[in-house]
Chains A and B, each alone.
Chain A
Amino acid sequence: MRLWTIGWIVAVAVVLFFFAAPLYWMVTMAFKPEIYWAFSPPPLFPPQTTSLNFYRGLLVMGGAKGILDSLFIATSNSLISLFFGLLAGYGLSRYLPRSKNLSFFILSQRMLPAVAFAVPFYLLYRSIHLYDSYLGIILVDLTFNLPLAVWMMKNFLDEIPRELDESAQVDGASLFRTLRSVVVPTALPGIVGTGILLFMFSWNEFVLNLFLTIVNVTPLPTLIPKFTGSHNILYGDVSAVALVASIPIIIVVIALQKQLVRALTFGGVK
């Protein structure tokens, strides 16, 4: 028995190290003054800390704008996807319950590789002046977020017994009222979880952003290559920006893991 516990502890320690160490490194790099960047072997703790990286990365290099841009895009897109997804999911759940094929078709839209959309949208956007615009990215992100939202919402709503809606309707509520006062509150955990997932996918989107933005809109992932210019790679700055960008998400993901897992697995687990 003891051997088992020791083995367990060792395994967990190794795992923790593997997953946490790189993040720790990012944190230390963010605070490391430039002189220490090229130290070999690199120090475990930065001997001095500086906030210069943050200042330069966020304000001078556009990190702050990048974060805000991504935030704006991801939030808008999630809300729009949730809205339409909720409606469609409700429609599918209540009015087309046996439409497995339709639901699956909608979901399969998500599986299309994002790159496949890159070129057409690029050309399209250039001609209708949506290139390098917020609206453009928000719309494009719908290609993968909306199907997911519809699928998730349908699954969550399937869980809520129809009798709930029906009793609301018998009580005199209109469809919209039913949704607002009965369905949404009940499905809230699922909605939240899905929202987080959608936000994450939009926030992390890379290729499409690269294709479709350049100077006006600068989502975070596209900024990162800009830090690694040909000569002076600003590791500290990019770490600082990444740190500031990642902390809110990490906090949200950890705090709401339960909902997130529910959302993830309602695509998968009964």
Chain B
Amino acid sequence: MLVMPAIAILLALNLFPLIYDIFLSLVNWQIRFAGSQPTFAGASNFATVVTDPRFYNDVGVTLALIAVVVPVENFLGLGLAMLLSRKIRGSRVIGSIIIMPLALSSAVAGMIWSILLFCSFGPVDSILELLGIWRTCANPLWNYPIQSIMVADIWQWTPFFFLIFLAGLSSLPREPLEAAQVDGASAYQTFRHVTLPMLAPVMGVGVILRMMDVFQTFGVPYILTGGGPGVTSETIALYIYRAGLGFFNLTYAAALALVLLVVVSVLITLFVRIYPGGLAR
């Protein structure tokens, strides 16, 4: 009935690529040479992936990103939401300013930060010099590429957590919080034992969504550091892009993509299982 068209489209659009990916990853096909035919290659592409140091490097980079970026955005967003959840005049304006980075595309965000962090005329350099943090520019885009990506990502996505926690906080029932007051709990105790557990489902959803996104983050690394210097800040998605459109090794790209898919699915499923309290879905 009504659901069918949507499901049909989805199946066609989503299933097809997966199947094709699987096919591609199992063959050897020099696509860039016109007229070449695919030949069955078994698991050799995957073998290559598994023994590819660049792959592991990228996984490391991606994991490092997730490990830092997601918690920071989560708690920063939570803190901001709590700061602004009292109805103080101006909190709406402040909130509006905070969510602006979220509206930008990751390409734009990457571009902005590449300008900001660029030594010659990025203001970050001047400010940090002023604050005495460094004497001459330490060239963050070159020397601290992963950290630069982290900063840009945090800048862009903390507002996401801010928004969902703002909504979450405002939908919390007021009475248990008041009961905690009357029961004698301090502000910290109330937060830790009552507010936080009640927010746990929302937090879980935010964290999962963000984790999935960061796993395949492409825009910011591409624009900000290009994965460099070398491959020190290359993410998996970036590698797939390069393998596919750069080296034109589409079969390898497909294999990489599949591996990524499997890894993400497994990790997400694990996470959902482990997460205390369950999710709001």
Contacts and interface: CB of A to CB of B under 8 A. Distances in A.
Tell me if chains A and B make direct contact, with any CB pair below 8 A.
yes
Interface of A: 8, 11-12, 15-16, 18-23, 25-26, 29, 37-42, 44, 84-85, 87-88, 90-92, 95-96, 104, 106-107, 109, 111-124, 139-140, 142-143, 146-147, 150, 200, 203-204, 206-207, 210-211, 220-222, 224-225, 228, 235, 238-239, 242, 245-246, 249-250, 252-254, 257, 260-262, 264-265, 267-270
Q: What 8 A-B pairs come out closest when comparing CB atoms?
A: A88-B6, A91-B2, A120-B20, A221-B107, A268-B205, A91-B3, A204-B105, A120-B17
Interface stretch (B39-47, B115-123, B140-148): B115-123
B59 interface: no
Contacts of A228: 111, 114, 223
Contact of B223 (A87, A109, A115, A224): A224
A242 B10 CA distance: 32
Contacts of B250: 119, 122-123
17 contacts: A12-B83, A22-B112, A26-B115, A42-B122, A109-B14, A115-B216, A115-B218, A120-B17, A150-B6, A204-B106, A221-B105, A224-B110, A225-B223, A228-B223, A261-B163, A269-B164, A270-B171
Contacts of A246: 103-104, 108
B73 interface: no
Given A11-B83, A210-B241, A264-B167, A119 B257 contact: yes
Contacts of A261: 163-164, 166-167
Interface stretch (B48-56, B90-98, B175-183, B189-197): B90-98
B150 interface: no
B244 interface: yes
A41 B6 contact: no
Interface in B1-46: 1-7, 9-10, 13-14, 16-18, 20-21, 24, 31
B106 A221 contact: yes
Contact of B100 (A11, A124, A250): A250
Nearest to B279: A268
A163 B160 CA distance: 35
B258 to A, nearest CB: 7
Interface string B217-230: 01100110000000
Given A84-B5, A268-B206, A270-B280, 10 more contacts: A21-B123, A25-B115, A40-B121, A41-B123, A42-B123, A91-B4, A119-B253, A120-B24, A206-B219, A253-B100
Contacts of B167: 261-262, 264-265, 269
A139 B107 CA distance: 21
B20 A124 contact: yes
A182 to B, nearest CB: 15
Contacts, number: 281
B103 A115 contact: no
Interface in B123-141: 123, 125-126, 129
Nearest to A28: B123
Nearest to B6: A88
A228 B113 CA distance: 13
B61 interface: no
B120 A40 contact: yes
A118 B280 contact: no
Given A84-B5, A264-B163, A220 B105 contact: yes
A25 B112 contact: yes
A130 to B, nearest CB: 12
Question: Which has the most chain B C-beta neighbours within 10 Å: A18, A119, A257?
Answer: A119
Question: Which has the most chain B C-beta neighbours within 10 Å: A203, A221, A225?
Answer: A221
A34 to B, nearest CB: 12
Given A224-B108, A264-B163, A109 B116 contact: no
A177 to B, nearest CB: 15
A121 to B, nearest CB: 6
Nearest to B129: A41
A269 B98 contact: no
Given A206-B105, A265-B168, A267-B205, A115 B115 contact: no
